[in-house]
Structure 1
Amino acid sequence: MSQYQNIKVIIPARFNSSRLPGKPLLLINNFPIFWHVFQRCIEAGFSSENILLATDHKKIFELAEELNIPVVMTSDKHESGTDRINEVVTNLDLDNDSLVINVQGDEPLIPSQLIKQLALFALENKKFALTTAVTPICEYKDFINPNVVKAILGEGGRAIYFTRSPSPLNRDNSNSLELAYRHIGIYTYRVSDLKEFCSYSESSLEKYEKLEQLRALSNGMPIGACIYNDELPHGIDTQEDYDAVKLLMEV
Structure 2
Amino acid sequence: MSFIAVVPARLASARLPEKPLLDLCGKPMVVRTAERARASAASRVLVATDHPRVQAAAAEHGFEGLLTRADHPTGTDRLAEVVQRLALPDDTVLVNVQGDEPLIEPDLIDAVAQLLLNDPAAAIATCASRITALETLLNPNVVKVVCDHAGRALYFSRAPIPWARDAFARRPDTLPDDLNALHHIGLYAYRAGFLRRFGMLAQGPLERWESLEQLRALENGHAIAVHVTDRHPPPGVDTADDLERARLLMAASLI
Partners in 2 of 1:179 and 1:120 — Cα distance? 23
- For 2:78, the equivalent position in structure 1 comes to 84
- For 2:109, the equivalent position in structure 1 comes to 115
Partners in 1 of 2:10 and 2:212 — Cα distance? 18
Matched residues, percent identical? 39
- For 1:171, the equivalent position in structure 2 comes to 165
- For 1:249, the equivalent position in structure 2 comes to 250
CA shift for structure 1 position 34: 1.3
Superposition map of 1:33-72 within 5 A: 33-47=29-43, 50-72=44-66
Partners in 2 of 1:58 and 1:98 — Cα distance? 26
- For 1:180, the equivalent position in structure 2 comes to 181
Give me the TM-score of the superposition, normalised by structure 2. 0.93
Structure 2 segments unaligned to the other structure (5+ residues): 169-174
- For 2:21, the equivalent position in structure 1 comes to 25
Structure 1 segments unaligned to the other structure (5+ residues): none
Letter in 1 for 2:61: L
Give me the TM-score of the superposition, normalised by structure 1. 0.94
Letter in 2 for 1:176: P
Q: Secondary structure at the match of 1:143?
A: helix
CA shift for structure 1 position 86: 0.6
**Out of 100, 121, 124, which is 2:118 matched to?**
124
Partners in 1 of 2:166 and 2:121 — Cα distance? 34
* Structure 1 runs (4+) greater than 4 angstroms displaced: none
Partners in 1 of 2:180 and 2:123 — Cα distance? 23
* Cα pair 2:68 2:82 within 8 Å, conserved: yes
Partners in 1 of 2:225 and 2:215 — Cα distance? 13
- For 1:226, the equivalent position in structure 2 comes to 227
Superposition map of 1:68-217 within 5 A: 68-174=62-168, 175-176=175-176, 178-217=179-218
Partners in 2 of 1:10 and 1:150 — Cα distance? 24
Partners in 1 of 2:187 and 2:101 — Cα distance? 10
Partners in 2 of 1:141 and 1:187 — Cα distance? 25
CA shift for structure 1 position 37: 1.2
Letter in 2 for 1:241: D
Partners in 1 of 2:232 and 2:88 — Cα distance? 34
Partners in 1 of 2:39 and 2:9 — Cα distance? 19
* Cα pair 2:146 2:161 within 8 Å, conserved: yes
Partners in 1 of 2:39 and 2:129 — Cα distance? 21
Partners in 1 of 2:195 and 2:81 — Cα distance? 10
Partners in 2 of 1:87 and 1:231 — Cα distance? 30
Partners in 2 of 1:231 and 1:143 — Cα distance? 14
- For 2:240, the equivalent position in structure 1 comes to 239
* Cα pair 2:50 2:67 within 8 Å, conserved: yes
Partners in 2 of 1:160 and 1:111 — Cα distance? 25
Q: CA RMSD in A?
A: 1.2
Partners in 1 of 2:229 and 2:222 — Cα distance? 22
Q: Secondary structure at the match of 1:173?
A: helix
CA shift for structure 1 position 221: 0.8
